[in-house]
Amino acid sequence: MLLRLIQYYQVLELMIVVLHQCHKESEEKWKRLSRQVTDMVLPLLAKQQINLDNQIALDVLHRLFESVAPSVFRPVDILLKALFAPPYDLTLVHSIERWLCLVLSIIRVLIAQSKEEVVLSRLQELGLAVNVFTTRVRPANEGRNKVQLSSDETFARFLLQIIGLLSHEISDSCTSLTKQSGSHAFMSQQMAHLLLYITHMFQSGQFRKVATSAMALIKQDAPEYMYSVDQINAAFRDMAMVYPTLTLQWCNVLILLNYEDQTWWSEIVQTPRKYIMASPGQDMSVSDSLMPLARCCNMEITRRGGLILFCDYVCENLNDAEHMTWVIINHVSDLIELSHEPPVQDFIGAIHRNSAASGLFIQAIHSRCENLSKPSLVKKTLQCLEAIHLSQSGALLTLLIDKFLHTHHLAVARMCDLLACRRLEMLLADSAEESKTQLPLEDLETLLQYVKNTGLTRRHARLASLLNKLRNLLCPESVLTLSPERTHPLDVTSEDIAEMVINKTFYMSIARDQCFSSSIVPKDCAILLQKLDYSDILAIMMTKEFNLSILAHCITLGKQSTLALIEKQTRSSLHQGQTSVPEQSLHPLLQAAQLTLLRHINNHINMLPVPHEVIAHDNKLNSQEEQFLEKMEEFYSDTSWIEGVTHLTSTLVQYLLTLSQFPWQPNIPKESVRDISRFVVLNVEILHWMLHQDRLPSTEQLETTLMCCTTVLQNPDLFAVIGQKEHTTWVCTLILAVHQLLSSVLVIPGESLVTLPNQDSTEDQPQHSYDGFHHVLRACDQISELLHCLKTYLNPQSSDSKLPKFLGNLLRNIIIGLARLPLVISYARTPPLAWKLGWLPSPSGDMRTILPPLPLKYLQEKDVLKEFIFRLNMIGWTTRQQFEETWMALLAVLNPAIMSEEHHVSPEEEIDRTQCIILAVKGITSLLVQSTLAPESGNPCNSTYECRPRNKPLAFLHTKCGKRLTVVRDMIEKELRHLCSVNCGSIYTRHHPVQPFDNNIERELGKDGITLGQMSIESIWSLVGMLDFADHENTEGDHSTVPRERSSSLSGLDIHSCICFLLDLYGQWLSPQANPRTPLMQINETIKSVVTISDLFTEKQQFEWMFDTLLEVQRLHPVEDELVVQYLIVGICKAAAVIGMDVPVAEKVGRLLEATLKSPHMSSRIATMYGSLYILETGMSDTTKLILPVITEYLLKQLENITQINIQSQQHVLVMWASAFYIVENYQEIIGETDITFKVLQLSSSMASGNEELTPIPVYLAILRGLERLMLTNVLNKQDSETLIKLSVDRLCMPSPQRAMAALGLMLTCMYSGKQGDQYTPPIMLRQPSFEDDGCEVPMPQDPESLIIAMERVTVLFDRIRKGFPFEAQVIAGILPLFLSDFFPPQDIMNKVIGEFLSSQQPHPQLMATVVFKVFSTLHAKGQHALVRDWVMLSLSNFTQRTPIAMAMWSLTCFFISASTNEWLRSLFEHVLGRMGKMETVDCRFFCLAALDFRSQLTDDGQLRAFHSTFQSVASKEKPYADLMACCT
């Protein structure tokens, strides 16, 4: 039965099972059945009657022939006859595939079970011939054909014919447009199997004669009816784009057949046609026409695989040098890229063993490897050069130094340095004649000069030294030094050190030398300039040699000096009883840096061509644009010019940030406003041009350019200039460049950045057209697309966001700033969907870009309204007219008259209409709240929402000791804010006064969004006229937190009328008699809006309306609706706190609070806590006494639970801690006799000292801030203070810098608050130069036990300097001098500080040297010069014993300068500080100068003798000490 269905391969599979079973039962039966199966299957296969149409069927056939008895194939006549029989039909694809199944199965059996001799002898005796021919010509005499070929030639020709037939069939399918893709998939698999079988036959040596005949046949001309090797090659070349592995398999077969036709291999490896051998000096760039037009993935696979195979062939035939030379010359870059492949490794190894090939390899790399920007590729190149032939060491050195050593990738540079040094050592080991042969003296001197001129001597000192040594060996008669030209005054002076006078002239010479040097430390140069007068600073800055990289540090240092000077003047005025405002003038350093910066910017702008043109690189340019671009490209291609622009850009960013951080906001000089605006456009143009040239800017350059654009757009003066109508091209250029940047970074080439609803698949505007409005219209479209990106790519919460945080934040600010420009703001505020819906307005304005307000019928579309509100929130408004137009547009959506026009609406339409009203309520609320943005209403880009904290100013901070605490505490606060702003991605560009103790505790650092509790009750009383300032003046503290006017009034907005209208409308909606009944979701949004805009109320009656309305809604509304209740509770409490409550109302509110606190809804409880805070802010009253027990009970219970379990809601925890600390601070009269204070302190200490995972950083910071306020308000006793100090010392050791810095702040607050009681004697007055008029009455410990305890706490600070991050060490080192001088006697200070300075375990000796310098400055200011000298003499021997000598000499120099009273020598401290570890002539002379200056201060003969004896004892060991002794004699 099975034999009848034998044409199905599934039956063959069953036959396999039967054969296996027969084999188990009886071998005779198995052989008999095998013969029977074979006799039936082979004829059917030859007639193509078995359905073998896929790989599975072919595998079954193979397994069938493996299952039959081997004896059935002996002799092989039956197989050979079937194999060489004329194919039954080769006209159809499936016929060819079935015939190939026969061929493959027979060849597989022959390979596995037969020997070549047997096969060929039987083939000869049977007289079989090839019966597969080309489709063009049939043989005229087949009999003659049979006689001409031997058996081995017949077999070889047969295999070539099969390959030719299949290759042409497959290649036709690849190049034909009519044949379906995938129709030849099975045939390609069969071809792969055939090539594998042939590869095995030839490579294993099993069919050696057939392989030999095949080698001969491919070199002969084939008859017309046979496939020639060229025809087969052409077919495989055509199929490479679809089937690269088949082409590579054929290449492998050709390699086995020693086929070396260079034309074929050039096509496979895609060799450029006109590459020729060249000398290293020739330019071997090849025109694009000679390169492959397209290099798809499959072609690249073919190219790389072909090269690997040909390398293998060359390695097998090393006697033929022509092939090796051809590969090296034409494919050196590919060899390096594929150097990890074993055949290529063998090829490179063969190159290394051959001197001539090694030289050729080096020449090829020098001339052909142009694109070495990838460090991975450079590393591979160096690895390929590592074992180059020793005779080519000179050429290798030239290549390494000339091409690789200057890379900015340090790992690659070190690798290159190591290889070059190894080769130099080999050259030094050879004879001078051999070295001169490999590296001629002229070439060596050229390399030396190159290393010296490019500044590589310092980075590669060992290499430079070996080069110099080799040069001196080759030419001993003239010695060359690589040291840079010495220009330092102490290097070039011939004056005796003992006679040198350290004065202004000497100081000026050093400052000038450092600022003109090629290798500078910008910060140190700025500090040197800081000590000079304005004219002297300007004389240095205005020279051509001045290094522009110093300017940014000059501006930073000038800002700090300016603020310190104004603070000093303010304190001096207050000390003298004056109330006049100090003169707001800039420090001379800042003035000079400003003038220099603006002059350089002006020079660059004056060089640019005018008029300005918009260059859209993807469009055809007109003649004016082409001329403009040609002139600009002259600048773009100038590397030094671009480098200068980069330095000026970073300086400009620092300058603009500096101006924005001064409290009085100084203006940019009017004559420079336009230059700066044009300069930022220039920066963006450079970035745009680089992207067009496929040159990716560095991260630093990209960030600097974007930061410059951000700061310029946020400056009102610069923003106004850019927005002027004569600068339309500037705006278009900025928008075009930002759009191109996003497109380059976020989408692949050819794709659109976004597709807006109004955009079709093709561009509306033809790209080749040009008129006056072309670029303007394009800018309008692009700004709309960029705003859409704020919801996708630039949305931090979006899954599409792919940009780094710093880049995303900068681009968001830039896009918002650009969208606010007058040219495009009208388009930017318009939803793109409105265009699709058919809105066709008539634009107005000079550029036809001002659109009328969006009609109501479009705003009633939900999607349009949603997009409109999104754009409103992003952009804000720029004029009062825009505000009023937006107000009227949104108000029209809210108008209930429109709703009543139609009586019959479906439920779905009613829901849509309600959702539109809700969106309009959100939009109008956001519009009003944006009016509170300061300093500029309606500008979310550079403004923050007004925030008036509830905490009262601390009286302690107005004492002398409190002011001292404020100084050190502000240093920590600035660092904390910086850390938090970095984590949040914030960008601070405006002046933010540091107020560590005033902000609301629950408010997270670095986040300036609007929240509940934004405005304190006291500030609201002031706004509505309920605060009596006459009576209020008697209360403690100042009233800086009490606003007298709103930023909205400064903008000329009539917010009062808007609020009145809204309240009237909201009252109708919230009324129980509303008809029709107001939908629930509309009620929810309305109440939320009322609570939000209540911060803008201007009358007490408005709060009375709010209280009555919300209380009525609460009475009638279901308590189960937690979404509404959460806003009701906070609104009722806020209104009640403002207008006041009698006892019945207070009881009602108290019950409401108590009920809501029991709610399972977390948001309701959070709102309740904010509401209770509003009531608590009103002060001591019967109302607060009623609700205080409810709140305290809830707080203690919840806080106790939270300390034991993981936090569920961070906001809930923050507001609870804010409430707890507020109650403890302000309601001691009520809770003083309870244990509430103790429990709060216990719980806060427990939570602050808990696991970091259980206590997030915002909660941790809030707790420590609350504890600090309690310390400064005299709420805690001595025991509590000790507990907090222990807590802070413990937390100071935490690895997190935020937690450690906050703990340091708490420790300082505790110590400065003076809560140590009887441990201290009466106060001792201390003074310091920066606080001369502000002596601080700080209690100083006198008994030994107190000193030990206090010193243990200081030890923790020194430990943190050692173990913390560098920025932490810098902060702590900055506060240490003030802190130590406030709390410890001089002897204890000096002992500890000098000990730390000398410690070999100190990782920051420069910071400790600065601490020593500041401590000595404090003692000098108090006139304790003798104490300083005594401590120096006491420590002198310890310094001389320090190792190594360079560190000892540097430490002594810093020590002597710190002890000096010479102002010019002291001004050089930072310069000396930066020379740590050096022991050059300059350092030795600095040491001698400082030592001699200190020696001149010694008046006691005993100290002089001790000074001499100390250095005399070590003078014999170290030369610097001997030089000092020589100067002393």
Q: pLDDT, tens digit, for every residue of 179-230?
A: 555 567 888 898 899 999 999 998 888 889 998 998 888 888 878 888 888 8
Mean pLDDT of 1248-1274: 88
Q: Does residue 959 sit in helix, strand or coil?
A: coil
pLDDT for res 1048: 58
Instruction: Report the amino acid identity of residue 1147.
Output: E
Instruction: Report the amino acid identity of residue 1276.
Output: L
- Omega of the bond prior to 804 within 30 degrees of 0, cis? no
Contact 1214, 1261 (CB under 8 A): no
pLDDT tens-digit series, residues 965-1015: 888 888 888 888 888 775 554 454 454 555 678 888 888 876 777 888 888
The Cα 14–Cα 1047 span in angstroms is 91
Q: For residue 287, is it left (φ>0), alpha (ψ between -120 and 50) or beta? A: beta
Using the predicted structure, report yes or no on whether residue 1197 has a pLDDT greater than 70. yes
Range of 8-22, 414-428, 1015-1029 with top mean pLDDT: 414-428
Tokens (6 digits) for 1143 = 């006892």
The Cα 1267–Cα 1250 span in angstroms is 16
Tokens (6 digits) for 74 = 């002996």
φ/ψ of residue 1001, rounded to 5: -65, -35
Confidence of residue 286 (pLDDT cuts 50, 70, 90): very low
φ/ψ of residue 941, rounded to 5: -80, -40
pLDDT tens-digit series, residues 1283-1292: 888 899 898 8
Give the position of tokens 């050592």.
425
- Omega of the bond prior to 1076 within 30 degrees of 0, cis? yes
H/E run at residue 1319 = none
Using the predicted structure, report yes or no on whether residue 117 has a pLDDT greater than 60. yes
Give the position of tokens 């490209």.
633
345 closest CA partner among 393, 312, 316, 392:
312
Contacts of 312 (CB under 8 A, 6+ apart): 255, 343, 346, 347
CB atoms closer than 10 angstroms to residue 143: 10
Q: List the beta bridge partners of residue 1515.
A: none
Between 433-442, 563-572, 780-789, 1018-1027, the lowest mean confidence (pLDDT) is in 563-572
1100 closest CA partner among 1175, 1199, 1024, 1011:
1024
H/E run at residue 945 = strand 944-945
The Cα 1124–Cα 1164 span in angstroms is 9
Mean pLDDT of 487-516: 84
Between 257-266, 673-682, 768-777, 1109-1118, the lowest mean confidence (pLDDT) is in 768-777
pLDDT for res 985: 47
As a whole number of Å, the end-to-end CA separation of the chain is 125
Selected residue with higher pLDDT from 1432 and 902: 1432
pLDDT tens-digit series, residues 917-946: 999 999 999 999 998 888 888 888 888 888
Confidence of residue 125 (pLDDT cuts 50, 70, 90): confident
pLDDT tens-digit series, residues 482-491: 555 567 788 7
Torsion of CA 55, 56, 58, 63, to 10 degrees: 140
Give 355's Cβ-side CA count (13 Å radius): 6
Q: What percent of the chain has pLDDT over 90?
A: 28
Confidence of residue 144 (pLDDT cuts 50, 70, 90): very low
Per DSSP, 758 falls in state T
Tokens (6 digits) for 312 = 């293998």
pLDDT for res 1338: 47
The Cα 204–Cα 200 span in angstroms is 6
Q: Does residue 1325 sit in helix, strand or coil?
A: strand
Tokens (6 digits) for 275 = 């590459």
1250 closest CA partner among 1310, 1291, 1200, 1211:
1291
Using the predicted structure, report yes or no on whether residue 294 has a pLDDT greater than 50. no
Selected residue with higher pLDDT from 493 and 582: 493
Between 6-10, 68-72, 503-507, 1027-1031, the lowest mean confidence (pLDDT) is in 1027-1031
Environment class of residue 149 by beta-carbon count within 10 Å: exposed (0-12), middle (13-18) or buried (19+)? middle
Q: Does residue 1400 sit in helix, strand or coil?
A: coil
Per-residue HEC secondary structure of 1098-1165 comes to: CCHHHHHHHHHHHHHHHHHCCCCCHHHHHHHHHHHHHHHHHHCCCHHHHHHHHHHHHHHHCCCCHHHH
Contacts of 164 (CB under 8 A, 6+ apart): 134, 226, 227, 231, 232, 235
pLDDT tens-digit series, residues 840-862: 888 888 888 899 999 988 888 99
pTM: 0.76
1488 closest CA partner among 1505, 1501, 1472, 1470:
1472
Range of 166-170, 676-680, 1379-1383 with top mean pLDDT: 676-680
The Cα 1354–Cα 466 span in angstroms is 49
Range of 136-150, 1164-1178, 1372-1386 with top mean pLDDT: 1164-1178
Instruction: Report the amino acid identity of residue 740.
Output: Q
Contacts of 1129 (CB under 8 A, 6+ apart): 1114, 1152, 1153, 1156, 1164, 1167, 1168, 1171
How many residues would you count in the chain?
A: 1529
pLDDT tens-digit series, residues 1139-1177: 988 888 888 888 899 999 998 899 999 999 999 999 999
Contacts of 283 (CB under 8 A, 6+ apart): none
Which residues in 1319-1424 belong to E strands, given as ranges?
Answer: 1324-1326, 1336-1338
Contact 261, 326 (CB under 8 A): no
CB atoms closer than 10 angstroms to residue 660: 19
pLDDT tens-digit series, residues 268-277: 888 876 543 3
Tokens (6 digits) for 642 = 């671009």
H/E run at residue 933 = strand 933-934
φ/ψ of residue 695, rounded to 5: -110, 105
